[in-house]
Structure 1
Amino acid sequence: MLKPIFIVLVALAAVACVPNGAAELEVLAELGNKKLYIEDISDHLPKPGQMDEADSISLVNRLVRQWAENELLVEAAEFNLTTELEDFEGLVKQYRNDLLKHAYIDGYVRQHLDTTISQQQIQDYYDQNLSNFELKESIVQAYYAAAPLKAQKTQEAKRWFLSDRYQEKYLDWAEVFVTKQSNYGDSAWVPMMDFLQEIPLESTNPYNYLNRRKRFTCEDTALVYFVQVNALLIKDSYSPLPYVEERIKKVLLNKRRLTLIEQIEEKIIEHAIEEGTLIIH
């Protein structure tokens, strides 16, 4: 049976009138031998003048009720869950210990982890684990720029772009009229489907289309797109190193992190044995 619990609330209207020094000792509520003081909720109260008296009283009353509800629920749980209480206390203790261990290990790793990874280390890991880097999707190394269909000399610009002889003319024209372009350089690898979503290419076999044409143009209702394709790799082939370089860095850093954790766990045992605080029979 739930034991009786009584709460005594003070006159909340007096809260706004109590001087600062006295307010810190003002009791707002009592629950058995527990007391809630104004200073306990001071961080949640507005500064003088920010709220009228009626709203201030309403806020204090709400905070007091929240405190009371929390304390009452905890007491009710402790009273009614006596058989489970030991399990809860064990879980709380384990949770506290886990938090402490995590904070200590995390601080140790941050202090000692060497985050410098050379290009040779990346290359070595890539070569030794090449089978782990099969592409799950086709990727493309490409770039596009787009200009309004109504821009001056658009038709000439198309011919210049498609011709090796007139690339300089195209570039001069593009510098003036291009209003949109890809957000990555022409040496970056991106998923082919992501690239295709950015250009209005109409093709039933986009892989073959991109594979056969190093330069092409396509249009929507407002823009003409000038597309340069530098390379294309199909799904299930091996990823080029630049495409997985950041992934490899994360793997290598995580390996170093795990090694540091193993080291600190071993060192702390060895130190305790040397100091005589740990005796293993």
Structure 2
Amino acid sequence: MNKSIQYILILILFASCEYLPTVKNDEVVIAKVNDKFLYESDIKDVLPPEISKQDSILFIKNYIDTWAKEQLLLNQAEINLKDETTSFEKLVSDYRSTLYINSYKEALVLNKLDTTVTKEQIENYYLSNHQNFKLNEELVQLKFIYTNKNRSDKKELIKLFKSNKKEDLDSLKSRSLEFKSFNFNDSIWVKYNDLENRISALKDLEKNQILKKSNFIQKEDSLGLYLITIKDVLNRNEIAPIGYITPTIKQIILQKRKLELLRKIEVDLLNDAIKNQNFEKY
């Protein structure tokens, strides 16, 4: 702890009506509640970095008061809940064991788990389990432009947008800085709800007016002009396309690997204990 913080602690201690500078295990005691002690090092561990001297004084005072209240409440709880002590101690012991075990497992997984998932593995899993990936919401593929509705080249822009020619699409992409927002990648599947939130003008239309394949929509509002082409639609309960579901499949494969690895670790640990006579059944 730097000298300025030590100085602040000394000031606080002197300001206290019970200033008792105590040293225990070579550490300065900052506060005491019954047989519990708060040490200088405890304050150092929680003090935010780069805090000003004035803020440090307030922070330390509040921390000491909070610590004291917790100790007093804990003391009263231990006195008044003596009948529950055994069950509480078991809960604490169980939690401590679980915390250690899970932390150790996570460390082993982090060190040993193969996190590489190939395209072939994803495709094989999808082919074997595609019926499990039914959609619970509509998906669309689309391109759109949102731009100024008063632009002088509106007719030309609409013509370019409706065209299927690559050179016309390239022309639109080269002018993308003119648009308020846009999407030209109509190979990506998008949730219909996300689309509706992004393009507010669609909220005025019925869903069945929008969710049509090869559907062109031209819509204006007070802010601008929307040009939208719905390339393709997938409805609820249809099978999700592999491109859309790939991140989910990857997580499923990794989770299965993780569980298999943990089972193997547990079996090997048990077998080693039996082999080395560290575990015996009676």
TM-score using structure 1 length: 0.78
Equivalent residue number for residue 264 of structure 2: 263
C-alpha separation in 2, matches of 1:208 and 1:65: 64
Equivalent residue number for residue 5 of structure 1: none
Equivalent residue number for residue 131 of structure 1: 131
SS of 2:218's equivalent in the other structure is strand
Equivalent residue number for residue 187 of structure 2: 187
CA contact (8 A) 1:140 1:190 kept: yes
C-alpha separation in 2, matches of 1:97 and 1:25: 30
Shift of 1:49: 8.2
Shift of 1:274: 0.9
Is the deviation greater in 132-141 or in 40-49? 40-49
Alignment of 1:196-275 (within 5 A): 196-199=196-199, 200-201=201-202, 205-207=206-208, 209-211=210-212, 213-275=214-276
SS of 1:137's equivalent in the other structure is coil
* Letter in structure 2 aligned against 1:133: F
Structure 2 unaligned regions, length at least 5: 1-10
Seen in structure 2, the aligned counterparts of structure 1 residues 124 and 70 have a Cα distance that, compared at 3 Å, is: same
Is the deviation greater in 78-87 or in 195-204? 195-204
Equivalent residue number for residue 115 of structure 2: 115
What are the Cα deviations for residues 122-166 of structure 1, in whole angstroms up to 9, with x where unaligned? 11111111211111122111111222122232123223433457x
CA contact (8 A) 1:139 1:232 kept: yes
C-alpha separation in 2, matches of 1:169 and 1:60: 66
Shift of 1:191: 1.6
CA contact (8 A) 2:146 2:180 kept: yes
CA contact (8 A) 2:213 2:230 kept: no
Q: Sequence identity, in percent?
A: 29
C-alpha separation in 1, matches of 2:232 and 2:259: 37
Structure 1 unaligned regions, length at least 5: 1-9
The count of corresponding residues between Structure 1 and Structure 2 is: 263
Equivalent residue number for residue 174 of structure 2: 175
SS of 2:53's equivalent in the other structure is coil
Shift of 1:254: 0.5
Alignment of 1:20-99 (within 5 A): 26-43=28-45, 50-51=53-54, 56=57, 62-99=62-99
TM-score using structure 2 length: 0.77
Seen in structure 2, the aligned counterparts of structure 1 residues 92 and 192 have a Cα distance that, compared at 3 Å, is: same
Seen in structure 2, the aligned counterparts of structure 1 residues 143 and 81 have a Cα distance that, compared at 3 Å, is: same
C-alpha separation in 2, matches of 1:212 and 1:35: 72
* Letter in structure 1 aligned against 2:89: E
CA contact (8 A) 1:162 1:216 kept: no
